[in-house]
Amino acid sequence: MAPLVLRLLGLVPILLGLAASQDWKTEGSQDPFEKCMHDPDYEQLLKVVTLGLDRTLKPRRVIVVGAGVAGLVAAKVLSDAGHKVTILEADNRIGGRIFTYRDRNTGWIGELGAMRMPSSHRILHRLCQGLGLNLTKFTQYDENTWTEVHEVKLRNYMVEKLPEKLGYALRPQEKGHSPEDIYQMALNQALKDLKALGCRKAMKKFERHTLLEYLLGEGNLSRPAVQLLGDVMSEDGFFYLSFAEALRAHSCLSDRLQYSRIVGGWDLLPRALLSSLSEPVLLNAPVVAITQGPHDVHVQIKTFPRARNLKALKADVVLLTASGPAVQRITFSPPLPRHVQEALRGLHYVPATKVFLSFRRPFWREEDIEGGHSNTDRPSRMIFYPPPREGALLLASYTWSDAAATFAGLSQEEALRLALDDVAALHGPFVRQLWDGTGVVKRWAEDPHSQGGFVVQPPALWHTEKDYEPYDWSVPYGRIYFAGEHTAYPHGWVETAVKSALRAAIKINSREEPAFETASPEGQRQRQGPAHGVAGSPSSDLAEEEGSHPPVQGQLPLQHTTYTRTWH
Ligand SMILES: Cc1cc2nc3c(=O)[nH]c(=O)nc-3n(C[C@H](O)[C@H](O)[C@H](O)COP(=O)(O)OP(=O)(O)OC[C@H]3O[C@@H](n4cnc5c(N)ncnc54)[C@H](O)[C@@H]3O)c2cc1C
Ligand SMILES: *[C@@H]1O[C@H](CO)[C@@H](O)[C@H](O)[C@H]1NC(C)=O
Ligand SMILES: *[C@@H]1O[C@H](CO)[C@@H](O)[C@H](O)[C@H]1NC(C)=O
């Protein structure tokens, strides 16, 4: 009886909160934060992802470095427009930070990388729709999940209503408000700034402050309230990073938003993109050097002892989608300009770590949990529950930024045990007997190809408010273009990688050759040859310097896409 009443009471502020945010929404694009972060070219990108690019009259040879979602999307729209695209991927699989673990014994899946898309990501929704992928609800919030801090454990419907019960000495006006509402209270000052200064100036100001400074200072929250947001909303990952980045992240990441996921696993997205390509993807082909000349660009792949002489490929343009650290390991000649090198070094990657544990049964169902996440101040921090009827592979820990440190350097066994201890602390010691002894640990900071989770920038203290301009990655350096999660906003989302890829593809499709090139049209015609531009023409006319090796073709049937063709 009592719990039921409390639960109903718990609903009231949620509903009120929803009504309030709904009010805001009905003013349409009036939401000042949303308006500020809106991409001016969003509708254009939506159009390209729906209808494709204009078919080219000047087919180019394009090499895409990286078969993550950015590389695959760019390759798809460029090859659909008639360009000749080759993808080079360092890893033995496609997808990059979209990576679905599939347990062979149980058939259960776990998303080691991306797992949810907010409803506002219309470009990504459209892309999935166009590829025939089915989407379903991702349950971000379930009121029956737990929050446990300072040894106090409460259901989240209680935390929404009375977070002070967790032992935080909140100020009177902070009590009785959900953590999300407390955060919104603090944002009021930022809202005033937006109105007074306008988007550009306000964001420039926000770029120079940390979230912590803002919340305690202008946000005027008490220390316990800030601690609460850190513990319960994982805002602590942003505390020492830029307030502007926290705002961008919050626009996509909140328990109040609606999310979708891809039925059957997120890796179906890269697979579907691959099957829609008529062009090859080379796996185990890490690019190590890129040389630009007046007429073309040479891309060198690391040679393995038994790689049959494949050394360099020639193209008209190269699109780099590898992460910042991975790009820094490539040798460029001529070297990248100083400002590009500085921008690359200036990218700040936070680690991101997931630990999955496989249980014999979904014991959380006995507590009426059907999804969403529990929070704990123990090392595991966030526990996400799989949807009903989709097995018992539990995301026992998802940490990022500073919170990932507790898992750094541990052995696989130690990491699994640490997560198990925390699940047992939250749900009871009986879960130890239900663990089947298996699990998966993915630490993206230690991934040899990503070398980081995703980008979250620290405050831009190098700059004054006046001269701060974020680096514009959409500007190519000669024949070299850039795309990927790190090259657009908000960082750390699949849709961002897709947007950056579409932007690069638009630029490559409308590329004019520099003057010195058109001065020798003879050479140009010879280089391109008559076969170019014919869709599905064999890839062998892609110039190779020494020898050739049959590339992995894009049109692989689904079950073959995990096929690892090696160059060793
Ligand atoms: C733990 C985690 C959870 C996430 N959750 C979500 C989520 O729920 N929703 C969401 O929208 N986003 C999420 N993201 C972010 C999202 O996964 C990324 O933003 C997106 O997948 C990045 O795509 P990309 O193509 O830019 O980069 P990547 O996917 O990293 O692709 C780059 C590719 O380049 C390859 N490469 C590197 N070096 C070389 C080289 N020298 N030569 C050739 N190839 C090379 C890499 O192997 C890789 O395949 C999450 C990320 C992480 C890490
Ligand atoms: C999507 O759902 C439909 C209807 O249930 C089904 O026929 C189709 O195979 C599904 N597609 C994918 C890619 O799962
Ligand atoms: C900040 O909060 C305190 C405590 O509630 C209040 O007394 C003070 O007036 C507030 N300051 C501003 C600038 O709003």
DSSP, residue by residue, 504-533? HHHHHHTPPPPHHHHT-HHHHHHHHTTTTT
pLDDT digits (tens, 9 = 90+) for 263-293: 999 999 999 999 999 878 999 999 999 999 9
Q: Work out the number of other CB atoms within 10 angstroms of the CB of residue 162.
A: 19
- CA separation (Å) from 288 to 78, 179, 279, 291, 300? 24, 47, 22, 10, 6
Task: Name the residue of 133, 134, 274 whose CB sits within 8 Å of the most ligand 2 atoms, as the mutation to test its pocket.
Answer: 134
491 CA → ligand 1 middle, Å: 11
The answer on 329 and 188 residing in a single domain is no
Cα 78–80–86 angle (5° rounding)? 50
Domain-ending residue, one of 208, 227, 256: 256
The verdict on whether residue 200 carries a ligand-binding annotation is no
The verdict on whether residue 12 carries a ligand-binding annotation is no
Residue 470 is predicted with a pLDDT of 87
The answer on 169 and 227 residing in a single domain is yes
2-26 vs 179-197: helix crossing angle, rounded to 10: 10
The answer on 320 and 271 residing in a single domain is yes
Query: Burial code of 393-426, b = ≥16 C-beta within 10 A, e = fewer?
Result: bbbbbbbbbebbebbeebeeeebbbbbbbbbebb
Query: Burial code of 41-69, b = ≥16 C-beta within 10 A, e = fewer?
Result: eeeebbebbeebbeebebbbbbbbbbbbb
pLDDT digits (tens, 9 = 90+) for 106-160: 999 999 999 999 999 999 999 999 999 999 999 999 999 999 999 999 999 999 9
pLDDT digits (tens, 9 = 90+) for 383-393: 999 999 999 99
CATH number at residue 279: 3.50.50.60
For residue 45, being part of any structural domain is answered with yes
Q: Residue 185 sits in which domain range? A: 155-256
Q: Among candidates 270, 282, 217, which has minimal Cα distance to 243?
A: 217
Q: How far apart are alpha carbons 93 and 89 in whole angstroms?
A: 8
Residue 25 is predicted with a pLDDT of 39
The verdict on whether residue 522 carries a ligand-binding annotation is no
The verdict on whether residue 102 carries a ligand-binding annotation is no
Q: How many residues does the chain have?
A: 568
Q: What is the mean pLDDT of residues 78-103?
A: 97
- The overall longest dimension of the chain from CA atoms, in Å, is 86
Higher model confidence: residue 288 or residue 464? 288
For residue 564, being part of any structural domain is answered with no
pLDDT digits (tens, 9 = 90+) for 425-454: 999 999 999 999 999 999 999 999 999 999
The answer on 275 and 242 residing in a single domain is no
Cα 123–124–127 angle (5° rounding)? 90
Beta bridge partners, 544, equal 313
Task: Name the residue of 214, 220, 222, 226 whose CB sits within 8 Å of the most ligand 3 atoms, as the mutation to test its pocket.
Answer: 220
For residue 495, being part of any structural domain is answered with yes
Ligand nearest to the CA of 128: 2
Residue 5: strand, helix, or coil: helix
For residue 503, being part of any structural domain is answered with yes
Kind and range of the H or E run holding 84? strand 84-88
For residue 102, being part of any structural domain is answered with no
Domain-ending residue, one of 463, 486, 510: 510
For residue 84, being part of any structural domain is answered with yes
The answer on 224 and 204 residing in a single domain is yes
Closest C-alpha residue for ligand 1 atom 21: 97
83 close to 56: Cβ distance less than 8 angstroms: yes
CA atoms in the 13 A half-sphere facing the CB of 564? 7
Residue 540 is predicted with a pLDDT of 32
Q: How many domains does the chain have?
A: 2
The answer on 251 and 293 residing in a single domain is no
For residue 543, being part of any structural domain is answered with no
The answer on 37 and 183 residing in a single domain is no
The answer on 276 and 244 residing in a single domain is no
3-state SS, one letter per residue, for 218-277: CCCCCHHHHHHHHHHCCHHHHCCCEHHHHHHHHHHCCCCCCEEEECCCCCHHHHHHHHCC
Q: Torsion-angle region of residue 389: left (phi > 0), alpha (psi -120 to 50) or beta?
A: left
Domain-ending residue, one of 460, 494, 510: 510
Amino acid letter, 85: V
Spell out the alpha helix ranges (H) of 105-234: 122-130, 156-161, 179-197, 199-207, 211-216, 223-232
The answer on 218 and 200 residing in a single domain is yes
The answer on 162 and 235 residing in a single domain is yes
Structure tokens at 146: 């737990």
Q: What is the mean pLDDT of residues 197-206?
A: 93
The answer on 249 and 168 residing in a single domain is yes
For residue 132, being part of any structural domain is answered with no
Q: Torsion-angle region of residue 242: left (phi > 0), alpha (psi -120 to 50) or beta?
A: beta
Residue 305 is predicted with a pLDDT of 66
The answer on 280 and 239 residing in a single domain is no
CATH number at residue 210: 1.10.405.10
- State pTM to two decimals: 0.88
